[in-house]
Amino acid sequence: MAVKDVIRMGHPTLRKVAQKLSKQEIGRPETASLVQDLFDTMMDQGGIGIAAPQINVSKSVAIIQIDPSSGRYAPEENVPMMVFINPEIKVLDKKRTGFWEGCLSVPGLRGFVERPQHILVKFLDDKAQACELEVQGFTATVIQHELDHLFGRLYVDRIEDRKKLMFEEEYLQFHAEDPAPAID
């Protein structure tokens, strides 16, 4: 399909709650095109996830793919391309762990965010089939980060210590050896 422009923090679409899709809408060619556009854009930008609001489409659709062969993530972090439509998250364990997060819609910055590390996600897939996914650790963080976009949130909203929001260059120079891995 097409690589789309990624809108940046400050654009009003990023602060809206995305519109849920009906099962009929999920089956339409426009939704398949949207998913392909998200995938193409994510690959072009070097991300591991993206949500429809990031390409200025206020629909409750997000995708994630973590490829360990990229060398950026641990080999055990292997998530094939997944489509999340109308997702709901339930926290199964409130224990939180922090990661340095980045975002295609907040280019050039990194921030340290603590999130619950054991969640259950209920969603529809791209075939409108009801799915449940229980995940822990890094993958739970990635999913929460991407699904936040569907509720008008950005990772910067979740940073508790504002001293841990910085430009990418300073992150790499002064904090890249931090034991908490980075995501974007």
Please give the positions annotated as active site. Answer: 146
Q: How far apart are CA 44 and CA 84, in angstroms?
A: 20
Q: How far apart are CA 25 and CA 130, in angstroms?
A: 15
DSSP 20: P
| Under 8 Å between Cβ of 106 and 155 | yes
User: By three-state DSSP, how is residue 68 classified?
Assistant: helix
Give the pair of three-digit tokens for residue 167: 């430009």
Q: How far apart are CA 177 and CA 42, in angstroms?
A: 26
| Under 8 Å between Cβ of 111 and 156 | yes
DSSP 44: H
| Under 8 Å between Cβ of 150 and 42 | no
Looking at residue 47, its amino acid is G
